[in-house]
């Protein structure tokens, strides 16, 4: 007896399934929500501590309202930030309107992960450099705005940033000469 389903039909069904799966995956990704045009900071107004970037006049910076999905091993980039008064973080932390010691393991998360303050004071576990450390979320690394006084004339954060205090970098055992950018994984603690 012949098979009632032809190879052409199987091919079309397979193609339909693959395109449906790809559409589902595409819907889960986080794409830029807009662009922000950089403005030249007034003299002395951009704090370049911890090798922070200053906005460049006319440059277009992507903005994001979302971040990649949070999993048990969320891939991210660790950056360094001073949460102290006068540090490159600029304003007090979003969660409590206070500054925090660089010797305390605290972080700021990109806008999508920060979830309108829902992650305030929650601990996350950061895995990097063969070690792990727990840190408390106290701030947002704003992915929707930047290049203004409120953001210390720095560009918007990418959507995959865990911006960490010096204490986090020390706990991960990263040599000071390598502080700045590190590929990591993080999860809720």
3-state helix, strand, coil in the chain (%, to 5): 20, 25, 50
Kind plus residue range of the DSSP H or E element containing 65: none
Count of Cβ atoms closer than 10 Å to residue 136 Cβ: 18
Per-residue pLDDT of the chain (189 residues; tens, 9 = 90+): 555 555 544 444 444 444 444 333 333 589 999 999 998 888 877 777 777 788 899 999 999 999 999 999 999 999 999 999 987 777 899 999 999 999 999 999 999 999 999 999 999 999 999 999 999 999 999 999 999 888 878 899 999 999 999 999 999 999 999 999 999 999 999
Helices in 29-134 by DSSP H: which ranges? 111-114
60 forms bridges with which residues in the sheet? 37
């Amino acid at each position: 007896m012949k098979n009632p389903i032809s190879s052409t039909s199987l091919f079309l069904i397979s193609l339909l399934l693959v395109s449906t799966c790809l559409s589902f995956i595409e819907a889960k990704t986080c794409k830029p929500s807009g662009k922000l045009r950089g403005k030249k900071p007034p003299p002395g107004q951009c704090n370049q501590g911890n090798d922070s970037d200053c906005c460049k006049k006319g440059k277009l910076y992507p903005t994001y309202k979302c971040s990649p999905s949070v999993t048990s091993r969320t891939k991210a980039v660790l950056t360094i930030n001073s949460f102290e008064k006068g540090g490159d973080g600029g304003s007090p932390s979003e969660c409590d309107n206070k500054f925090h010691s660089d010797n305390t393991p605290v972080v700021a998360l990109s806008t999508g992960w920060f979830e309108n303050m829902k992650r305030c004071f929650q601990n996350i576990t950061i895995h990097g450099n063969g070690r792990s450390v727990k840190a408390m979320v106290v701030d947002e690394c704003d992915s929707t705005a930047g290049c203004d006084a409120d953001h210390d004339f720095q560009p918007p954060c990418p959507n995959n940033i865990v911006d960490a205090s010096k204490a986090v970098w020390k706990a991960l055992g990263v040599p000071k000469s390598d502080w700045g950018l590190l590929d990591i994984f993080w999860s809720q603690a």
